[in-house]
């Protein structure tokens, strides 16, 4: 990468770190360190909520998914506005009004200590591991693209984030999120503008070409429990997932607990309700435009440079033959794409030309699939080629300076998510375990020191998980998979908390039964999409918990 | 433990404000879905 691009990246890192450390003023008490003295304006909280949810995986992986699969992934977010409105009238007033530090603290006040500790423990395990994967995803891509050891990539993302989160607390996290969100949106809009300028046909014609390959098919109204990306999965499963994430996950709850009032907390969540779907559509549109760009410029056969080198060395003859086929298929596709773009709209020639173009695109896709299989066979690894499409495009084709902005935006996306995770992991560790079970009468200054140490501990833990993510791959997958077992069930406990007659025994046993039911569904019907696990978990907990709380039943007495 | 109950007049104002917000979010949602629908109908049908 050009030195100017590196300068932009370094300036960004220094800026975020120094500003974060400056925010340490005013964090001399636990409430200042973890909740910003509940004085952060709603728009900053709203941007922080969005920045936390938007990770580097979104910028690298989701854009790549847009290039290969199109816009249909946006359906995943259709439940989000509904979830935000429901949370605005249910959990937000409960949690904000209870003046708690963590969502789980509220559960002890409503139910008992064991329900609080179990939910907090489940959060620590799942979030600790997932924060590691949030660092690992861009770190692996940076290592492959820039040829660095994975340790350096993890350090580039992890170390500045740990420093500013440790020193500045939630103030640093939130205000860094605001800057990072602006940078991310600017980078995405910049990419769209550059791509529209660089694509050699008119945008309307280009979109017709993308449409011919199915990449602009947004809606799938089929009711299919095995398909994650349908309208109904998004609306029903997505609503429950977003209710779980924004309503019960401390990394999000802590964002809006910093707001000045219940109204401001609601407003901060509603910012996502308005902007998440357009933002996600923009992310996917970048991918679709990169796909269109590569209709008129020869793309690499494999985007992952490490795998490309390995295949060239170890299967040179086979890969060479595929490259020859690929070059000729690309030339034919380029010709047919230009022909389709030049035929008049609504003419029979247009339909014929688009159909011929679509068939030529299928041939290119088939050759690429063969190359991906060859890469997997040769390296013994999943190529995850989709994650390299956008980074390769950025480094190969963007004008000077833009690549630096994009790399800074990827770092910003990673840092904003990790900082919120570290901050919330430290909060749950100190408030739900250390202060609750070990040192309940400790002084503020002692707890503040422990909180900084806890942030540092979780930061190092996440960096270690990220460094060994490739070899820990299956373990992380297991953790994420088991994570989906209890996400919906924890939501069920919070829903139960709003039922006046619900009792502690109902909450605790309901949580165990909910997680067991989701596990049974997962192993008994593995084809069911994980989005439905949240529905099953939440409904089971509410049903079982309500039943066990009926006073006349012998087992419901506490 | 529940959130402190606001006075009745505040609760009424709160409900009215919420209904207005709900309407705005739903309108924004419908507009976003309509735009995505137009994209699909024009280019991918």
Sorting pLDDT into bands at 50, 70 and 90, what band is A346?
A: confident
Whether the pLDDT of residue A427 is over 90: the answer is: yes
* DSSP codes of every residue in A317-360: HHHHHHHHHHHHHHHHHHHHHHHHHHSPTTSHHHHHHHHHHHHH
Paired residues of A289 in beta bridges: none
Q: Using CA of residue A263, residue A265, residue A266, residue A271, what is the dihedral sign?
A: positive
CA–CA min distance A263, chain B (Å):
9
Query: Which residues from chain A sit within 8 angstroms of residue B36, using beta carbons?
Result: 71, 74, 218-219, 281
| Lowest mean pLDDT, pick from A268-277, A465-474, A524-533 | A465-474
pLDDT higher than threshold 60 for residue A558: no
Which residue does chain A place closest to B27, by CA atoms?
Answer: A274
> Are A277 and B4 within 8 A, CB to CB?
no
Q: At what angle do helices A113-146 and A402-427 cross, to 10 degrees?
A: 160
What is d(CA A291, CA A294) in angstroms, rounded to the nearest whole number? Answer: 5
Tens digit of each residue's pLDDT (9 = 90 or more) over A246-266: 999 999 999 999 999 888 899
A193 class by beta-carbon count within 10 Å (0-12 exposed, 13-18 middle, 19+ buried): exposed
Residue in A88, A106, A219 nearest the CB of B37: A219
**Closest CB from A93, A208, A270 relative to B25:** A270
- pLDDT of B29 higher than 60: yes
Could you tell me which residues come within 8 angstroms of residue A332 by beta carbon, excluding any fewer than 6 positions away? A360, A363
Closest-CA distance of chain A to residue B41, Å = 8
Check CB contact of A216 with chain B, cutoff 8 Å: yes
Rounded Cα–Cα distance for residues A439 and B26 (Å): 47
Q: Which residues pair with A259 in a beta bridge?
A: A40
Q: What are phi and psi of A259, to 5 degrees?
A: -70, 160
**A40: three-class secondary structure by DSSP:** strand
| DSSP output for A304-329 | -HHHHHHHHHHSHHHHHHHHHHHHHH
pLDDT bracket for residue A482 (50, 70, 90): low
Which residues in chain B have their CB less than 8 angstroms from residue A211's CB? Answer: 42-45
Of residues A208, A211, A274, nearest to B28 (C-beta): A274
**Which residues lie closer than 8 Å to A229 by C-beta, 6 or more apart?**
A72, A73, A75, A76, A220
Using alpha carbons, list the distances in angstroms from residue A355 to A72, A210, A333.
21, 12, 11
Tokens of B35: 């735009």
Contacts of A217 in chain B (CB under 8 A): 40, 44
A-B C-beta contacts closer than 8 Å: 68
What is the rounded average pLDDT of the residues A509-526? 90
Please report the DSSP string for A102-157 in residue order.
SHHHHHHHHS-HHHHHHHHHHHHHHHHHHHHHHHHHHHHHHHHHHT--HHHHHHHH
Q: Is the minimum CB–CB distance between B39 and chain A shorter than 8 Å?
A: yes
Categorize the per-residue pLDDT at B12 as very low, low, confident or very high, splitting at 50, 70 and 90. confident
Rounded to two decimals, the pTM is 0.88
* Residue A73 DSSP one-character state: G
- A186, HSE (Cβ side, Cα atoms, 13 Å): 15
Query: Cβ of B29 under 8 Å from any chain A Cβ?
Result: yes
Spatial distance between the Cα atoms of A172 and A251, rounded to a whole number of angstroms = 15
Question: Where in A186-330 does DSSP place strands (E)?
Answer: none
Q: Is B21 on the interface with A (CB under 8 A)?
A: yes
Buried b / exposed e over A497-529, threshold 16 CB at 10 Å, is beeeebbbbbbbbbbebbbebbbebbeeeeeee
Residue pair A177/A53 in contact (Cβ under 8 Å)? The answer is no
Which residues in chain A have their CB less than 8 angstroms from residue B26's CB?
Answer: 81
Q: Hey, CA dihedral for A544, A550, A553, A556, is it positive or negative? A: positive
CB contact under 8 A, B21 and A88: yes
Cβ-based contacts of A69 with chain B (< 8 Å): none
- Are residues B1 and A277, on separate chains, in Cβ contact within 8 Å? no
Can you give the pLDDT at residue A340?
84
Q: What is the mean pLDDT of chain A?
A: 89
Q: Name the maximum alpha-carbon separation found in chain A.
A: 80
Distances in whole angstroms, Cα of residue A516 to Cα of each of A23, A116, A119, A266, A540: 44, 19, 15, 33, 10
- H helices present in A380-400, as ranges: 389-397
How many CA atoms lie within 13 Å of B20's alpha carbon, on the beta-carbon side?
7
Concatenated DSSP letters of A421-458: HHHHHHHIIIIIIIIIII-TT--HHHHHHHHHHHHHHH
Record the tokens describing residue B34, joined without a space.
């309509």
Of B3, B36, B43, which is closest to A93 when you measure between CB atoms?
A: B3
Q: Is B3 on the interface with A (CB under 8 A)?
A: yes
Q: Are A395 and A152 in contact (CB under 8 A)?
A: no
Give A360-388 pLDDT, tens digit per residue. Answer: 999 999 999 999 999 999 988 877 788 88
* Residue ranges with strand state E in A129-214: none
With beta carbons less than 8 A apart as the criterion, state whether B36 and A218 touch.
yes
A496: chain B residues, CB-CB within 8 Å = none
Smallest CA–CA distance from B20 into chain A, residue: A85
Please name the residues between 91 and 130 in chain A that touch chain B, using a CB distance below 8 Å.
Answer: 93-94, 96-98, 106, 109-110
Residues for chain A: how many in total?
558
Q: Min CA distance, A223 vs chain B (Å)?
A: 18
- What is the length of chain B? 45
At A527-540, the pLDDT tens digits run 888 888 889 999 99
Distance CA A78, CA A239 (A): 8
> CA neighbours within 13 Å on the CB side: how many for A215?
28
Q: Is A262 on the interface with B (CB under 8 A)?
A: yes
Q: Are the C-beta atoms of residues A49 and A256 closer than 8 Å to each other?
A: yes
pLDDT for the residue A483: 66
Shortest alpha-carbon distance between residue B8 and chain A (Å): 16
Q: Three-state DSSP class for A259?
A: strand
């Amino acid at each position: 990468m050009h030195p100017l691009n590196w300068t932009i990246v370094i300036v960004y890192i220094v800026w975020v770190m120094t500003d974060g450390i400056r925010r340490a003023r005013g964090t001399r008490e636990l409430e200042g360190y973890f909740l910003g003295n509940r004085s952060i304006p709603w728009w900053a909280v709203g941007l922080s909520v969005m920045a936390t949810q938007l990770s580097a995986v979104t910028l690298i992986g989701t854009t790549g998914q847009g290039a290969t699969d199109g816009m249909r992934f946006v359906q995943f977010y259709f439940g989000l506005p509904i979830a935000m409105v429901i949370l605005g009238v249910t959990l937000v007033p409960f949690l904000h009004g209870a003046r708690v530090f963590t969502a789980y603290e509220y559960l002890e006040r409503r139910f008992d200590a064991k329900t609080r500790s179990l939910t907090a423990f489940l959060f620590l395990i799942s979030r600790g591991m997932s924060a590691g994967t949030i660092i690992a995803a861009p770190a692996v891509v940076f290592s492959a693209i820039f040829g660095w050891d994975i340790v350096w990539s993890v350090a580039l993302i992890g170390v500045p984030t740990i420093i500013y989160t440790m020193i500045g607390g939630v103030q640093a996290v939130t205000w860094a999120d605001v800057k990072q969100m602006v940078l991310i949106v600017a980078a995405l809009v910049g990419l769209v503008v550059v791509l529209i300028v660089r694509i050699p046909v008119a945008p309307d014609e280009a979109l017709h070409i993308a449409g011919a390959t199915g990449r602009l098919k947004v809606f799938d109204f089929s009711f299919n429990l095995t398909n994650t990306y349908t309208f109904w999965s998004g609306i029903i499963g997505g609503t429950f997932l977003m209710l779980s994430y924004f309503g019960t996950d401390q990394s999000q709850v802590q964002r809006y607990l910093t707001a000045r009032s219940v109204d401001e907390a609601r407003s901060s969540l509603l910012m996502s309700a308005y902007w998440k779907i357009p933002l996600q559509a923009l992310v996917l549109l970048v991918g679709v435009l990169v796909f269109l760009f590569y209709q008129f410029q020869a793309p690499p056969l494999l985007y992952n440079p490490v795998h490309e080198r390995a295949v060239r060395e170890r299967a040179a003859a086979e890969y060479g033959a595929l490259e020859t086929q690929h070059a000729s298929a690309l030339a034919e596709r380029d010709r047919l794409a230009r022909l389709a773009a030049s035929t008049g709209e609504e003419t029979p020639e247009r339909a014929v030309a688009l159909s011929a173009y679509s068939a030529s695109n299928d041939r290119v896709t088939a050759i690429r699939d063969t190359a991906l299989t060859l890469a997997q066979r040769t390296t013994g690894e999943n190529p995850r080629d989709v994650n390299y499409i956008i980074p390769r495009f950025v480094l190969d084709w963007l004008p000077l300076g833009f690549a630096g902005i994009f790399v800074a935006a990827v770092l910003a996306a990673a840092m904003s998510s990790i900082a919120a995770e570290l901050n919330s992991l430290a909060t749950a560790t100190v408030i739900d375990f250390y202060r609750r079970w070990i040192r309940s009468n400790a002084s503020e200054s002692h707890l503040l020191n422990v909180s900084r140490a806890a942030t540092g501990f979780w930061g190092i833990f996440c960096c270690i998980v990220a460094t060994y993510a490739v070899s820990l791959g299956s373990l992380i997958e297991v953790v994420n998979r088991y994570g989906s077992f209890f996400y919906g069930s924890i939501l069920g406990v919070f829903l139960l908390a709003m039922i006046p007659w619900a009792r502690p025994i109902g909450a605790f046993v309901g949580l165990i039964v909910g997680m067991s039911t989701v596990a049974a569904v997962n192993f008994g019907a593995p084809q069911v999409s994980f989005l439905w696990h949240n529905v099953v978990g939440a409904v089971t907990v509410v049903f079982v918990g309500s039943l066990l709380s009926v006073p006349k039943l012998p087992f419901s007495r506490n | 433990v529940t959130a402190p109950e606001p006075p009745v007049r505040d609760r009424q104002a709160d409900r009215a404000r919420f209904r207005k917000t709900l309407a705005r979010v739903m309108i924004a949602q419908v507009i976003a879905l309509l735009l995505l629908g137009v994209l699909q109908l024009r280019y991918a049908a």
